[in-house]
Amino acid sequence: MNVFEAIMTRRSTRQFKNIPVEEEKLDQILQAGRYAPSGGNSQSVHFLVIENKEVLKTLADMAQSEFAKMEVTEDMYRSMANSVLRSKAGGYVFHYNAPVLILTANLKSYSNNIADCSCALENMYLAANELDLGSCWINQLKWLNENEVVLPYLRSLGLEEGELVYGALALGYPDTEDGLPNRKPLERRGNKVTFIR
């Protein structure tokens, strides 16, 4: 796959097979993330790679109970409101039971924290596509990144003082008939382009 094919065929995967990702593939994906550009060459993105099933379950349960405490407001971001409503209903697993969840964290005090994490995440989505793995951006831990229950738990897992989670990626083999990710491009109706020539 060349880079244009990888970009055009990358789609989000939200159903995963319960099988692990090979270490070699995981290493390649992490290298793709680590080789993303960073503001001022800061290289301050911290990748927390969670494969431990108990930890994944604890995080999913914790997120569900923290979202369930919130009330949906009119101006709430639609996806976040959805997380709140689904958590109140029960059985909400924000990472779609993917076998791997890669958190991208960065320094709260650094002005390019989200931008650098986003560059790393996109590189990892494209690398996952090249390797026939499915992936999806996961935003729930960003919304809970200063939560009084979630933050101490993330610190206990290795999130360092001064760092917060700014994005995440669910990764695994797609639960599709042929085992490959859906690669049908979504039509673009937005993302306007203005040429000034």
Q: Which residues sit at the interface with ligand FMN, rule CB under 6 A?
A: 11-12, 14, 79, 136-140, 186
Nearest-angstrom CA–CA distance, 134 and 13: 5
| Residue whose entry in the numeric block shows the structure tokens 């993105």 | 45
Q: Provide, rounded to whole angstroms, the least separation between the CB of residue 107 and ligand FMN.
A: 19
Question: Which amino acid is located at 53 in the chain?
Answer: K
Nearer to ligand FMN, 14 or 88 (CB): 14
Contact call for residues 3 and 126 (beta carbons, < 8 A)? yes
Q: Provide, rounded to whole angstroms, the least separation between the CB of residue 50 and ligand FMN.
A: 16
Q: Provide, rounded to whole angstroms, the least separation between the CB of residue 8 and ligand FMN.
A: 10
Q: Provide, rounded to whole angstroms, the least separation between the CB of residue 186 and ligand FMN.
A: 5
Nearer to ligand FMN, 186 or 193 (CB): 186
Nearer to ligand FMN, 12 or 42 (CB): 12
Q: Provide, rounded to whole angstroms, the least separation between the CB of residue 35 and ligand FMN.
A: 20
Contact call for residues 164 and 110 (beta carbons, < 8 A)? no
Nearest-angstrom CA–CA distance, 30 and 164: 19
Nearer to ligand FMN, 27 or 65 (CB): 65
Nearer to ligand FMN, 42 or 139 (CB): 139
Q: How many residues does the chain have?
A: 197
Two tokens at 184?
A: 């049908």
Question: Nearest 5°: phi and psi at 194?
Answer: -120, 120
